[in-house]
Amino acid sequence: MIDPRLLREQPALITQSMANRQMAPDLVEGLIAVDANWRQKSAELDALKNQRNTLTPKGKPSPAEQALLKQLSQTIKTQQDAVSALEATRYDLMMQLPNLPHSSVPIGASEADNVVIKTVGTPPAFDFTPQSHDVIATARGLIDFEAGARITGSRFAVYTGPGAKLERALISMMLDHHTDRGYTEYLPPAIVHRNSLEGTGQLPKFEDDLFALSHTDYFLSPTAEVQLTNLYRHQIIPSDQLPLNMVAYTPCFRKEAGSYGRDMAGIIRQHQFNKVELVKMVHPEQAADELQRLLQDAESILQALELPYRVVQLCTGDLGFSAAITYDIEVWFPSQNKYREISSVSHFGDFQARRSMIRCKNVMTDDVCYVHTLNGSGLAVGRTLAAILENFQTSDGAVKLPAVLSRFFKQSASGVWF
């Protein structure tokens, strides 16, 4: 949620920011009008209450005074109902308004206008046509796509034997790597409440992409960003405890609404997938530096796995709903001859903190402000596995694993092979 004062003090800034996001001005214009009306009606209500207090006699009121007070009380009730209705409308509109892009974000209409910041590593050169990860995984008995469809349906898979072990090894490797870099590990529930999803911004806008549990306010979590951020919901954190660095592995669940027909083969776009998520709570003055540290921490997994990748800054038209700044980390997929997203690292400013009421208190001055939240995947596990299979494949269909994973597997003198 953005600072409501900006609506009143800098409406042109809000309107331009939404235009940069490729949004029509209707929502902003409607919100500004409702906010102004709500403030006017609230002021009128306060005046009516003051009038009633002034007219209320100290002793027993006369019949005329009783009649006047009764009429005034009825007017106050009507006015209170109007104010409450406007307040509810105002809140609903505020919850629909996305975050303001940071001034450093390039202005653009779509992903075509995103900016490549850097490219790390060299894509492998093959003297054969590289196979896709799903073909390799099926041939090597690592993933059973037919079993996933038989058990549940499309966009589900069963990891088997060494494939299951590789997925587990990647989760362990990522968690160990990040905890060694100062993150505290959590294992939260996979089911989250509606309030938690509203706090991080998945609701109300993205309800169609979530798996809801019937007749409850519970949902299957789409990302551990939700759980980790809401650990501090309605909390005030002493400023000397910041930054807070958190990491969690969780299964994640998404309907992938709007993506039908895309990435149907393989494990790039599944309804259920594993992810290691990084979340930071920081003081506003720490945010810029901590965003760069977070980006480096996510990148370091790909560096350890010797996978080629690039970092892309998203333009205004491609930013997520809650983000003020986002860097996508994209890993190379030889079979597609392109880079594909494997992590999004974002700075949310105080947007999520306002929605979740997460604040920090200066231990010296007692000043209180909203924290800034940051998060990023560290990494999406299935996509990492897929990238390993493709980048380390050989002409005979075998796969040699990166050396950093050798501690999880028995190996020959020439390394670990699948």
Query: What CATH number does the domain containing 272 carry?
Result: 3.30.930.10
Residue 199 has pLDDT above 80, yes or no: yes
**What is the token pair recorded at 228?**
């980790």
Are the CB atoms for 280 and 246 separated by under 8 Å? yes
Same domain, yes or no, for 178 and 266?
yes
Average the pLDDT over 343-364 and give the result.
Answer: 96
Domain membership of residue 282 (yes or no) is yes
In the residue annotation, 390 being an active-site residue is answered as no
- Please identify, among 70, 96, 122, the residue that sits at the C-terminal boundary of a domain: 96
Mean pLDDT for 337-342 is 97
For the question of residue 52 being annotated catalytic, the response is no
Let me know if residue 101 belongs to a domain: no
The catalytic position among 269, 293, 310, 340 is: 269
Residue 200: enclosing H or E segment and its boundaries? Answer: helix 194-200
Question: Is 33 a member of any domain?
Answer: yes
- Do 92 and 123 fall into the same domain? no
**What is residue 415's predicted lDDT score, i.e. its pLDDT?**
73
pLDDT score at 89: 96
pLDDT at 225: 98
Of the residues 322, 344, 346, 377, which is catalytic?
A: 344
pLDDT recorded at residue 369: 96
Residue 15: partners with Cβ closer than 8 Å, 6 or more residues away: 25, 28, 29
Residues 12 and 56 in one domain: yes
The answer to whether position 417 is within a domain reads no
Q: Which of 106-115, 318-327, 337-346, 396-405 has the lowest mean pLDDT?
A: 396-405
What residue type is 124 in one-letter code?
A: P
Task: Assign 319 a pLDDT band (cuts: 50, 70, 90).
Answer: very high
Residues 280 and 180 in one domain: yes
Say yes or no to pLDDT of 260 above 70.
Answer: no
Token pair belonging to 400 = 């040699």
Spatial distance between the Cα atoms of 226 and 224, rounded to a whole number of angstroms = 5
> Phi, psi at residue 361, to the nearest 5°?
-125, 125
Phi-psi region at 368: left, alpha or beta (left = phi > 0; alpha = psi -120 to 50): beta
Question: Are 142 and 89 members of one domain?
Answer: no
Contact (Cβ atoms closer than 8 angstroms) between residue 42 and residue 393:
no
The predicted-structure confidence for 95-128, as pLDDT tens digits, reads as follows 999 999 999 999 999 999 999 999 999 999 999 9
Indicate whether 383 pLDDT > 80.
yes
| Residue 359 and residue 280 share a domain | yes
How many whole angstroms separate alpha carbon 222 and alpha carbon 322? 15
Q: Cα(318)–Cα(112) distance, rounded to whole angstroms?
A: 9
Q: Given 21, 90, 359, 383, which residue is catalytic? A: 383
Least confident stretch, 53-67, 307-321, 356-370, 387-401 = 53-67
pLDDT reading at 413 higher than 70: no
Let me know if 29 is a catalytic residue.
Answer: no
Residue 98 β-bridge partners? none
Distance CA 61, CA 65 (A): 6
One domain for residues 117 and 75: no
Total number of domains in the chain: 2
Q: Specify whether 315 is located in the same domain as 391.
A: yes
Tokens of 347: 């700075």
Q: In what order do the strands lie in the sheet with 115-120?
A: 115-120, 309-313, 325-333, 338-347, 372-380, 272-282, 244-253, 184-186
> What band does 131 get if pLDDT is binned at 50, 70 and 90?
very high
* For the chain, percent of residues with pLDDT exceeding 90: 87
262: pLDDT confidence band, cut at 50, 70 and 90?
confident
> If you average pLDDT over residues 8-37, what whole number do you get?
93
The whole-angstrom separation of Cα 242 and Cα 244 is: 5
Which member of 254, 354, 355, 359 is catalytic?
Answer: 254
Does the annotation mark 344 as catalytic?
A: yes
Residue 416 is assigned to a structural domain of this protein: no
Dihedral sign, Cα of residue 394, residue 397, residue 400, residue 402: positive
Instruction: Note whether 159 and 276 are same-domain residues.
Output: yes
The average pLDDT across 163-191 equals 98
In a domain, 299, yes or no: yes
Predicted confidence (pLDDT) at residue 57 exceeds the cutoff of 90: no
Predicted local distance difference test score (pLDDT) of residue 25? 86
Known active-site residue 341: yes
Q: Are residues 277 and 138 in the same domain?
A: yes
**Omega within 30 of 0 (cis) for the link into 278:** no
In a domain, 328, yes or no: yes
Structural domain for 222, as ranges: 111-408
pLDDT of res. 78: 96
CATH at 70: 1.10.287.40
